[in-house]
């Protein structure tokens, strides 16, 4: 009997630790004529189970190691099994020796159309197209995992980005929007292809260096700010060759508020050059850079 109990405990332990995400998936149906339709609630439940119970990496994560993230889906129209929507994807990770969670990813994808029949099984297969719903959710799941890894070790997100790229390549055959370079210059195609291109290594290095500086904040806040400043200034190299890089926007969509907060208080360091460069590299956030204290 004890052996049987131990066996089931072992299976339970392995199952629980197989998942890597602590993700909240919300389906907002307020734009629909009848937001109380059961299909919307079923969709939300199915997506939460799909994202949180799928083993995405075949690696064990302890409960406290799971990646905190969210996917906020806003339904815009619904006709039979056809849906049009937007999806906001966000993730964060804890800063060393603190209770603070730093934002890592913040993407708003407006090209999200999909079909869904209530109670249909959501099954992920990296080498085949099941549905645009599964492909988009799986793509962003691997983006979340890859970007989280990048904050701890330079280019350690490659295996997950490569899986995301495979998903994108397979999904192109479906002719759904967002997967092709013909669908604009700021979509899933460019997001993943740019991340894996050596041309954009600088921004990946910035992501790593920035978070290494942030992890020093409780130990030596002045040194931490210097390291974060240095990481941000290194984006100049990318700006000089790719002044309108999509990845630069993606970085600041996640980090602009935090950067403004970091350099608006605490120990003073010289940031005249930083403010000048931030206004050049990310002019859309100029109102936030105006908050920085010299």
Render pLDDT for 46-89 as a digit per residue (tens, 0 to 9). 999 999 999 999 888 888 889 999 999 999 999 999 999 999 99
Q: What percent of the chain has pLDDT over 70?
A: 93
Please tell me the distance from the alpha carbon of residue 155 to that of residue 160, in angstroms, as a whole number: 10
CA triplet 56, 177, 192: central angle to 5 degrees? 45
Q: What is the mean pLDDT of residues 6-16?
A: 35
Query: Are residues 196 and 158 in contact, defined by beta-carbon separation less than 8 angstroms?
Result: yes
Mean residue pLDDT of the chain comes to 92
Render pLDDT for 136-151 as a digit per residue (tens, 0 to 9). 999 999 999 999 999 9
Helix axes 132-150 and 201-214, enclosed angle (nearest 10): 60
Contacts of 141 (CB under 8 A, 6+ apart): 21, 23, 51, 54, 56
Band of the pLDDT at 294, cuts 50, 70, 90? low
The yes-or-no verdict on residue 93 having pLDDT over 70 is yes
Taking the CA atoms of residue 33, residue 35, residue 37 and residue 39 in that order, the dihedral angle to the nearest 10 degrees is: 110
CA triplet 264, 270, 275: central angle to 5 degrees? 65
Identify which of 123, 133, 148 has the alpha carbon closest to the alpha carbon of residue 55. 123
Please tell me the distance from the alpha carbon of residue 120 to that of residue 137, in angstroms, as a whole number: 15
Render pLDDT for 169-212 as a digit per residue (tens, 0 to 9). 999 999 999 999 999 889 999 999 999 999 999 999 999 999 99
């Amino acid at each position: 009997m004890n052996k049987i109990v131990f066996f089931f405990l072992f299976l339970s332990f392995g199952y629980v630790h197989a998942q890597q995400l602590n993700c909240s998936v919300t389906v907002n149906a307020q734009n629909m004529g009848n937001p109380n339709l059961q299909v919307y609630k079923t969709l939300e439940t199915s997506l939460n189970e799909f994202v949180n119970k799928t083993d995405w990496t075949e690696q064990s994560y302890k409960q406290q190691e799971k990646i905190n993230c969210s996917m906020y889906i806003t339904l815009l129209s619904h006709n039979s099994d056809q849906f049009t929507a937007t999806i906001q994807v966000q993730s964060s990770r804890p800063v060393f020796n603190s209770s603070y969670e730093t934002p890592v990813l913040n993407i708003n994808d407006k090209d999200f159309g999909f079909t869904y029949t209530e109670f249909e099984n959501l099954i992920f297969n990296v080498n085949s197209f099941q549905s645009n719903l599964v492909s988009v959710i799986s793509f962003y799941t691997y983006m979340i995992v890859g970007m989280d890894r990048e904050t701890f070790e330079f280019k350690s997100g490659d295996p997950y980005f490569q899986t995301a790229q495979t998903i994108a390549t397979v999904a192109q055959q479906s002719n759904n929007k967002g997967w092709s370079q013909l669908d604009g210059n700021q979509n899933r195609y460019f997001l993943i292809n740019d991340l894996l291109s050596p041309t954009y290594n600088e921004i990946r290095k910035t992501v790593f260096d920035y978070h290494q500086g942030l992890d020093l904040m409780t130990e030596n806040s002045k040194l931490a700010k210097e390291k974060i400043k240095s990481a941000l200034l290194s984006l100049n190299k990318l700006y000089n060759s790719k002044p309108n890089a999509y990845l630069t926007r993606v970085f600041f969509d996640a980090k602009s508020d935090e950067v403004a907060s970091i350099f608006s208080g605490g120990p003073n360091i010289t940031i005249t050059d930083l403010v000048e460069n931030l206004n050049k590299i990310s002019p859309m956030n100029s109102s936030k850079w105006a908050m920085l204290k010299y």
